[in-house]
Amino acid sequence: MRVLGVDPGLTRCGIGVVDGESGRPCNLVHVEVVGTAAGCEIGERLLRLEDAFARAIETYSPDVVAVERVFSQHNVRTVMGTAQAGALALAAAARRGIPVAMHTPSEVKAAVTGSGRADKHQVTAMVTRLLRLPVSPTPADAADALALAICHLWRAPAQSALAAAVRAAKVSRVTARSDT
């Protein structure tokens, strides 16, 4: 499976592409950080990000796009930029019929380090080790995008199995009710 991970941000947005399967080593395909200048108009900044997402999707043909779920912060301006960038990534995938997944920062940290409270250095160190990279991806936005992709590679099979079990249980209950 090929996953495009997005660490959304208006000033710096990480985009990472990883190939792999659950239980097998992952491989780095691509990583970049797209930056936009704070002094530019918001529309120009958003278009730059939208173009970067479209280019990455067209170039690397991911099976799924995994985006960090926006969580509440005290800085409303930061939350807004993160949400806007994340929405563009989701829309770019949806426009091309590519499934999307969202993961919280603590889910990603727990998946790659074993602790949902890991710091940026721990996440970067584990991404470097898991992808067998000679040097750590920098800045942290690059490592975070790769961590999102790895998280999804590892969590997707369990999430799919759980969703299938829930669907089967619902069908079973409906069938049991109609039999009575």
HEC states along 42-97? HHHHHHHHHHHHHHHHHHHCCCEEEEECCCCCCCHHHHHHHHHHHHHHHHHHHHCC
Cα–Cα distance measured from residue 153 to residue 104, given in angstroms and rounded to the nearest whole number: 15
Q: Which is more confidently placed, 142 or 78? A: 142
**Residue 17 main-chain phi, psi, to 5 deg:** -120, 130
pLDDT for position 164: 74
Pull the structure tokens for residue 4. Answer: 């495009």
- 85-131 per-position pLDDT tens digit: 999 999 999 999 999 999 999 999 999 999 999 999 999 999 999 99
pLDDT of 141 over the 90 cut = yes
According to DSSP, residue 24 is labeled S
The 3-state DSSP class for residue 140 equals helix
- List pLDDT tens digits, range 38-88: 999 999 999 999 999 999 999 999 999 999 998 766 778 888 999 999 999
Residue 63 structure tokens: 């099976």
DSSP 161: H
Q: Identify the residue whose tokens are 């770019």.
A: 92
For domain 2-179, the CATH class is alpha beta
Indicate whether 138 pLDDT > 90: yes
Residues in the chain: 180
Tell me which residues are annotated as active site: 7, 68, 141
8: left (phi over 0), alpha (psi -120 to 50) or beta: beta
Q: What is the CA radius of gyration of the chain?
A: 18
Contact predicate 1/160, CB 8 Å: no
Let me know the angle formed at the C-alpha of 176 by 170 and 180, rounded to the nearest 5 degrees. Answer: 145
Question: Residue 72: what pLDDT?
Answer: 67
Give the chain's end-to-end CA distance (angstroms, integer).
Answer: 44
Confidence (pLDDT) at 160: 67
